[in-house]
C-alpha cells in the first residue's frame, strides 16, 4: 500500500500552515488599521467573512446576505397574549422589522384592543437617491438599503407626521401618508429622537470632520471608524442649530482627560451616546432646557446644561452599558440597565435614581428575572402615568407591559404572518388623550394615494 504521507502531502501541509500564518497576519494588520496592501486586505476580509455570511443566510432564511437574521429566543411564544384584561387608552408606536415584507415598518397600535390603526412605510430607496453627502454616505445603498433599513425611535407629531432615522443615517420627516417632507444628511444621526419644550429635536450624531480635541490628537485610522459622538439639536424644519461633541463636553468640564482617552486604532467608540432626555420644567435638581445624556461606553449618565456648556451631574452607579434615561418625577430619573457587567449579568434591569437621597433602587426586578428578560444592546423602558412599566427586549423582538402591581398585563413578540421574529427598535407609548383623539380623527379623514 502506498504511503499517504508522501513528499507532496508534506509539502501541501507545510504550505498550508505558511498560508494560514500569512492570512492571519494580514487580518491582524487590517484590524489594527494598517495602511499598506489595501487590495490584499479587502480580499482577506472577504474570505474571512464567508462563514458569517453563510450563517446569516441560514438564520434569515434568505439568499440575500444583507437581510437581518430571524430571532429565535421566543419562537415558542404567541405573537400577542393578554394576561390581565385592561382596556387602556393609549397608542403604542411599534417600530419593527417584518421578515415577510423584508423591511422595517412603524405600526400605530391602539392599546384598547391592540389593533393596528395606522402604518408608516415610506419609500426608502427613493429617499436614498436624494442623499447628496456622498462622503458621509458612501455605503448608503448597502447599509441603508430597504432590506436593512430600521426605523429608530420614531417621533409622531400632532399633524400625524413622523420623524425618524435608521441609526448612523440621515434624519427625515414623512407625512401621515408616508410622503417624504424633508431630510438632513449633514451628519449621521443615531439613537433616540426627543422633542424639547420649544419644539426642537434632540438626537445623537457622529461628527465629521472631527471635533477639535479628536482632530488634533487622534492617531489617524485609515479605516475612518472613530466615532466622535455629538449632541445635536434641530429645529422643526430639520436644520441643525446646536452640535457639540460629547468628548469636548467631558473634557471641558474636567471629567475626562484627553491624554487618557484611547483614540488610537484599538478602541474607536469611547462614548456611544444612546439617549438624550430634555427637561421640560424647572425643579430643585435641574432647569428647563437641561438634557440628560446616556453614555453607554462610559456606563454613565450626564446631566448637561447646553446654554452654559456646564456639566451639572456625572452619575455612575449599579448599571453597565445602559440605555434610555427618562425623567419620571421632579427628583427622579429611570435608567434602562442592560447590565453588561462581567458577573451577575443574566438579566436587564430598570433602575430609579433619586436626586434627593442620591440612592438607586430597582423596579420590578424579580418580575424581569422571572421573564428571563435580557437585551445585550439597545432596549428601552417607559413608566406609564399609572405606574405601569413597559420594557422592550430589542435584541429578541419582545415587549412586556407590567401593571402598577408588577403583574404581567400583556406580552408581544414581533412575529410576522409566517411566525418569523424580527427586531424591535425603540417603541414609544403615547398617553395624551387630546393627542390620541386628534390622531384617530386624522386616521378617519386621511386621503392617501400610496
Rounded Cα distance, 90 and 110, in Å: 6
Mean pLDDT across the stretch 163-172? 96
Rounded Cα distance, 301 and 317, in Å: 9
pLDDT tens digits, residue range 376-386?
A: 999 999 999 99
Helix (H) or strand (E) holding 391: strand 389-393
Mean pLDDT across the stretch 311-321? 97
Residue 222 has pLDDT above 50, yes or no: no
pLDDT at residue 351, rounded to an integer? 98
Write the DSSP symbol of residue 373: -
How remote is the C-alpha of 139 from its chain's centroid? 19
Mean pLDDT across the stretch 318-338? 98
Residue 74 has pLDDT above 70, yes or no: yes
pLDDT at residue 67, rounded to an integer? 87
Can you spell out the DSSP letters for 2-53? --SS-HHHHHHHHHHHHHHHHHHHHHHHHHTT--S-HHHHHHHHHHHTHHHH
What φ, ψ does residue 406 adopt, rounded to 5°? Answer: 85, 10
pLDDT at residue 12, rounded to an integer? 74
In which band, very low, low, confident or very high, does the pLDDT at 21 lie, cut at 50, 70 and 90? confident
pLDDT at residue 212, rounded to an integer? 87
pLDDT tens digits, residue range 260-310?
A: 565 554 467 889 999 999 999 999 999 999 999 999 999 999 999 999 999
Residue 61, number of CB atoms within 10 A of its CB: 12
Q: Average pLDDT over the chain, rounded to whole?
A: 89
Mean pLDDT across the stretch 224-242? 92
Can you spell out the DSSP letters for 240-260? EEEEEEHHHHHHHTTSS-TTT
Write the DSSP symbol of residue 103: E
> What domains sit in the chain, N to C, each tagged with a CATH number?
7-48 (no CATH), 62-445 (2.130.10.10)
pLDDT at residue 1, rounded to an integer? 45
What burial letters (b/e) apply to 392-430, b meaning 16+ CB within 10 Å? bbbbbbbbbbbbeeeebbbbbbbbbeeebbbbbbbbbbb
pLDDT tens digits, residue range 249-266?
A: 999 999 987 665 655 544
- Range with the poorest average pLDDT among 138-142, 218-222, 347-351, 400-404: 218-222
Residue 63 has pLDDT above 50, yes or no: no
User: Does residue 265 contact residue 221 with C-beta atoms inside 8 Å?
Assistant: yes
Rounded Cα distance, 328 and 273, in Å: 20
pLDDT at residue 393, rounded to an integer? 98
Mean pLDDT across the stretch 180-206? 97
User: Does residue 165 contact residue 180 with C-beta atoms inside 8 Å?
Assistant: no
Residue 166 has pLDDT above 90, yes or no: yes
pLDDT tens digits, residue range 399-423?
A: 999 999 999 999 999 999 999 999 9
pLDDT at residue 5, rounded to an integer? 55
pLDDT at residue 10, rounded to an integer? 66
Set of cell numbers at residue 409: 398585563
User: Does residue 302 contact residue 293 with C-beta atoms inside 8 Å?
Assistant: yes
Rounded Cα distance, 189 and 378, in Å: 16
pLDDT at residue 160, rounded to an integer? 97
pLDDT cut 90: percent of the chain above it? 74
Cell 472577504, residue located:
46
Length of the chain: 450
What burial letters (b/e) apply to 178-208, b meaning 16+ CB within 10 Å? beeeebbbbbbbbbbbbebeeebbbbbbbbb
Mean pLDDT across the stretch 76-101? 96
- Range with the poorest average pLDDT among 54-58, 82-86, 109-113, 433-437: 54-58
pLDDT at residue 57, rounded to an integer? 46
In which band, very low, low, confident or very high, does the pLDDT at 123 lie, cut at 50, 70 and 90? very high
pLDDT cut 70: percent of the chain above it? 84
Mean pLDDT across the stretch 207-223? 69
pLDDT tens digits, residue range 385-398?
A: 999 999 999 999 99
Amino acid at each position: 500500500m502506498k504511503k499517504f504521507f508522501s513528499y507532496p502531502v508534506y509539502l501541501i501541509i507545510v504550505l498550508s500552515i505558511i498560508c494560514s500564518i500569512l492570512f492571519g497576519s494580514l487580518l491582524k494588520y487590517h484590524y489594527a488599521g494598517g495602511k499598506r496592501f489595501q487590495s490584499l486586505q479587502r480580499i482577506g476580509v472577504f474570505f474571512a467573512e464567508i462563514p458569517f455570511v453563510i450563517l446569516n443566510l441560514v438564520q434569515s432564511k434568505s439568499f440575500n446576505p444583507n437581510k437581518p437574521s430571524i430571532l429565535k429566543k421566543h419562537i415558542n411564544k404567541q405573537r400577542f397574549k393578554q394576561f390581565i384584561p385592561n382596556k387602556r387608552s393609549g397608542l403604542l408606536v411599534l417600530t419593527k422589522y417584518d421578515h415577510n415584507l423584508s423591511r422595517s415598518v412603524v405600526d400605530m397600535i391602539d392599546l384598547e384592543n391592540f389593533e393596528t390603526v395606522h402604518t408608516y412605510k415610506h419609500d426608502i430607496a427613493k429617499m436614498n437617491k436624494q442623499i447628496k453627502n456622498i462622503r458621509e454616505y458612501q455605503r448608503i445603498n448597502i447599509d441603508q438599503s430597504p432590506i436593512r433599513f430600521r426605523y429608530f425611535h420614531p417621533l409622531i407629531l400632532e399633524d400625524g407626521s413622523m420623524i425618524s432615522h435608521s441609526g448612523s443615517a440621515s434624519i427625515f420627516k414623512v407625512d401621515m401618508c408616508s410622503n417624504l417632507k424633508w431630510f438632513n444628511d449633514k451628519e449621521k444621526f443615531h439613537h433616540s429622537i426627543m422633542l424639547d419644550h420649544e419644539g426642537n429635536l434632540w438626537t445623537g450624531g457622529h461628527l465629521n470632520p472631527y471635533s477639535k480635541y479628536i482632530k488634533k490628537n487622534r492617531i489617524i485610522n485609515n479605516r475612518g471608524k472613530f466615532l466622535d459622538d455629538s449632541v445635536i439639536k434641530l429645529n422643526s424644519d430639520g436644520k441643525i442649530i446646536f452640535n457639540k461633541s460629547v468628548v469636548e463636553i467631558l473634557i471641558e468640564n474636567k471629567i475626562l482627560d484627553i491624554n487618557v482617552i484611547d483614540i488610537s486604532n484599538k478602541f474607536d467608540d469611547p462614548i456611544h451616546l444612546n439617549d438624550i432626555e430634555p427637561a421640560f420644567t424647572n425643579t430643585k435638581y435641574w432647569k428647563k432646557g437641561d438634557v440628560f445624556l446616556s453614555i453607554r461606553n462610559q456606563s454613565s449618565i450626564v446631566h448637561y446644561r447646553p446654554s452654559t456648556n456646564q456639566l451639572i451631574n456625572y452619575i455612575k452607579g449599579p448599571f453597565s452599558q445602559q440605555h434610555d434615561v427618562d425623567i419620571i418625577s421632579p427628583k427622579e430619573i429611570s435608567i434602562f440597565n442592560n447590565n453588561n457587567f462581567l458577573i451577575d449579568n443574566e438579566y436587564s434591569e430598570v433602575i430609579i435614581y433619586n436626586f434627593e437621597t442620591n440612592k438607586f433602587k430597582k423596579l420590578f426586578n424579580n418580575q424581569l428575572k422571572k421573564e428571563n428578560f435580557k437585551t445585550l444592546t439597545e432596549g428601552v423602558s417607559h413608566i406609564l402615568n399609572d405606574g405601569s412599566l413597559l420594557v422592550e427586549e430589542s435584541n429578541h423582538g419582545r415587549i412586556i407591559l407590567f401593571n402598577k402591581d408588577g403583574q404581567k398585563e400583556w406580552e408581544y413578540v414581533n412575529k410576522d404572518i409566517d411566525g418569523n421574529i424580527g427586531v424591535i427598535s425603540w417603541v414609544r407609548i403615547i398617553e395624551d388623550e387630546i393627542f390620541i383623539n386628534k390622531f384617530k380623527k386624522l386616521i378617519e379623514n386621511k386621503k392617501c394615494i400610496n
